Amino acid sequence: MTAVEIVATVLLCAAVLLGLGRLVVGPTNPDRFVSADMVSVVTTVALAGFAAVFESPLYLDVAMIYGVLSFVGMVALARVVEGNRS
């Protein structure tokens, strides 16, 4: 890995860790949902970064599918939170 890749990896890891911290601390469930949403986007990007580091385009497909699934999951979660009140 080059120095730039290491710095970028550290920043992305720090972002995920901060997100996970918010996920653990809360204080309310909506905060946890929001941080899960953000962490999933960062994870998608990090998977694309894997592809660059390992020189293997296979990871790009993994990133795409992960992004699609996390989006569907988030919208489903929003519907659950909403309930029948709308």
- Closest approach of another protein to the CB of residue 68, in Å: 7
Assign 56 to helix, strand or coil: coil
Contact assessment for residue 43 and residue 62, using Cβ atoms and an 8 Å cutoff: no
> In the 8-state DSSP scheme, what is residue 32?
H
- Closest approach of another protein to the CB of residue 63, in Å: 6
Site for another protein in 64-83 (CB under 8 A): 64, 67-68, 71, 74-75, 77-79, 81-83
Which amino acid, residue 24?
V
For residues 29 and 27, what is the distance between their CA atoms, to the nearest angstrom? 7
- Report the sign of the C-alpha dihedral through residues 26, 31, 32, 36, in that order: negative
Binding site for another protein (CB under 8 A): 2, 4-5, 7-9, 11-12, 14-19, 21-22, 28, 30-31, 33-35, 37-38, 41-42, 44-45, 48-49, 51-52, 55, 57, 60-61, 63-64, 67-68, 71, 74-75, 77-79, 81-83, 85-86
